[in-house]
Amino acid sequence: MIFLKDVRCAEQLHLSPNYFGDLIKKETGRSAQEYVQQKTMDAAKEMFLQKNKNISEIAYCLGYQYPQYFSRAFKKWEGTTPNEYRHDYRHA
């Protein structure tokens, strides 16, 4: 299954979505969707360190149209909400 973010990544690299997916799978052992999601969440965690951006701004920067979808995806991926992650990181 190919997702919109995967297609965008493939287009930016001038690759077909199927070839991009196959290449990612071969190199990482993960689907393109999982790989893109992991990179998106890694970028989010880096952005949480910036005190001048709130969670909604970070969500928009990462291409989410609705911040609540980003929060839901982040919690599913990381097991904690963006606010909890930011709080725990700052107090660690």
Least confident of 4-13, 33-42, 70-79: 4-13
pLDDT beyond 60 at 60: yes
- Can you tell me which residue has the tokens 């097991």? 79
Q: Three-state secondary structure along 41-67?
A: HHHHHHHHCCCCCCHHHHHHHCCCCCH
What pLDDT, on a 0 to 100 scale, did the predictor assign at position 49?
Answer: 85
Average pLDDT over residues 63-70: 94
What pLDDT, on a 0 to 100 scale, did the predictor assign at position 76?
Answer: 94
What pLDDT, on a 0 to 100 scale, did the predictor assign at position 23?
Answer: 87
Q: What are phi and psi of 86, to 5 degrees?
A: -60, -45
Four-residue CA torsion sign, 79, 84, 86, 92 = negative
Residues, the chain, total? 92
- Enter the pTM of the model: 0.78
pLDDT in tens, 29-58: 998 888 889 989 999 999 988 878 899 999
Q: Going along 11-59, which residue ranges are E strands?
A: none
